A = this chain, B = another copy of it.
């Protein structure tokens, strides 16, 4: 089944709000095995809305509308759809009672335009609005299905989930097989290299399908299949997941949609391991991303943002002759990254200590190029590791990629450790 989502509202076309309704409905429809082929946004304009309806009817089996069903003059969705289908509109008694009760309860006189919110198209199923006032509509017409939902997300979402979805399952989806997906998560590898490594699998994909996509510093691969049951789907998905993992064992860190820092926090908390950090060029971004995870308090002790050389010396005991003098390695160096990681680990008395020092730009410093970054990992009773990064991009990119690289290296270290002494409660 092919679907199209039409969001109606001039505020979307002015950029005043983002079309989060389309995202919500797309996710929901994908989970039902319905292919969304187009999303359209059109303003509160009768001609253009009718034009959008005509186009959608020509290319979709199911059309979902959001917005344009409120009380004002520019709420036109039901009128336009009724006109397109050659049907009339009438007041739904139950919906009208609901609107009237709302005003009665507030002891406000209902203005006449609010009657509009109780309108439904003739011969259709009203979708009650539990949160707001405007009633929704579901109908089948000449082998096509139409769903009309309100614009405000907090009204639209429950109406879809509780009213429209059951209607769809009963009327439109009797023959379809549901779609099942898994999200495979990767770190320490870019999208194009990942795709290059998986190119044979991607070229030959039929069922399950493989879809890689990248967000800043992370790559996700969604694998999906249609199947009569979850059990059947998982049989197919697990085989493909294993093939992919075998190609990229050092980069695939999860088979559910979690950020890498979540995995690290959970693993370390479960294993009773603690962490601290000393950040120079990233200025707190690393610690912020870790402490953003609920539960991090049990594994993250704290750390130091050592932006100035004074703080590096005073709080982290970096020797002056590492920082000053013509032959000194300088703040952005392998040597300083090592001291920072080791010292913060000792000060916090934690199991692991992380460090970042580098040139985030825009200007260079210490005559070193923008993008040169050293990251360090100190561990109790283990030799400290330092990695050199040569990053590109804006100041923000370089900071973010430094953090992602450090999280990746820490994850690798925890993985190795896990092979030695398996952690309890871990999934991988």
> Interface of A with B (CB < 8 Å)?
10-20, 22-30, 35-43, 45, 48, 51-52, 55, 59, 70-73, 102, 105-108, 111, 113-114, 131, 152, 154, 191-193, 195-196, 202-203, 211-216, 220, 222, 277, 279, 282-288, 290-292, 294, 296-297, 300-308, 310-311, 314-315, 347-349, 361-363, 365, 390, 392-397, 399
Question: Which listed residue (B45, B195, B292) contacts A283, Cβ 8 A?
Answer: B292
- Most chain B CB within 10 A, of A26, A29, A105, A203, is at A26
- Given A23-B18, A297-B307, A302-B306, answer yes or no on A11-B211 (Cβ-Cβ < 8 Å): yes
Contacts of A111 in B (CB 8 A): 192-193, 196
- Given A202-B73, A291-B284, answer yes or no on A14-B38 (Cβ-Cβ < 8 Å): no
Contacts of A192 in B (CB 8 A): 70-72, 111, 113-114
By the criterion CB–CB under 8 Å, are B10 and A15 in contact? no
Closest CB of chain B to A312's CB: distance in Å? Answer: 8
Contacts of A302 in B (CB 8 A): 304-308, 311, 315
Contacts of A12 in B (CB 8 A): 22-23, 26, 39
Give me 13 other A-B pairs in contact (C-beta within 8 A), A72-B191, A277-B305, A294-B361 excluded: A19-B19, A37-B45, A40-B40, A71-B192, A73-B202, A111-B196, A113-B196, A131-B397, A284-B284, A284-B286, A292-B395, A297-B307, A310-B349
Contacts of A315 in B (CB 8 A): 302, 304, 315, 347
Question: Which listed residue (B211, B287, B347) contacts A305, Cβ 8 A?
Answer: B287
By the criterion CB–CB under 8 Å, are A131 and B38 in contact? no
Q: Complex: how many Å from CA A283 to CA B284?
A: 8
| 30 pairs, A vs B, C-beta closer than 8 Å | A11-B211, A13-B37, A14-B27, A15-B23, A15-B29, A16-B27, A16-B220, A18-B18, A19-B19, A37-B43, A38-B41, A39-B40, A73-B202, A102-B392, A106-B390, A113-B192, A113-B195, A154-B216, A154-B396, A283-B287, A283-B288, A283-B290, A284-B288, A284-B303, A285-B292, A287-B305, A292-B396, A302-B308, A310-B348, A315-B315
By the criterion CB–CB under 8 Å, are B307 and A291 in contact? yes
- Given A202-B73, A222-B16, answer yes or no on A311-B301 (Cβ-Cβ < 8 Å): yes
Contacts of A311 in B (CB 8 A): 301-302, 348
Contacts of A214 in B (CB 8 A): 152
Closest CB of chain B to A150's CB: distance in Å? Answer: 12
CB-CB nearest in chain B for A209: B10
CB-CB nearest in chain B for A348: B311
- Given A222-B16, A288-B288, A397-B131, answer yes or no on A213-B294 (Cβ-Cβ < 8 Å): no
Closest CB of chain B to A249's CB: distance in Å? Answer: 20
Closest CB of chain B to A245's CB: distance in Å? Answer: 21
Contacts of A277 in B (CB 8 A): 305
Closest CB of chain B to A158's CB: distance in Å? Answer: 9
By the criterion CB–CB under 8 Å, are A213 and B291 in contact? no
Contacts of A396 in B (CB 8 A): 154, 292
CB-CB nearest in chain B for A114: B192
Which 8 residue pairs spanning A and B have beta carbons closest together?
Answer: A283-B291, A15-B27, A284-B284, A15-B26, A284-B287, A39-B41, A302-B311, A284-B288
CB-CB nearest in chain B for A72: B195
Closest CB of chain B to A359's CB: distance in Å? Answer: 11
Contacts of A314 in B (CB 8 A): 347
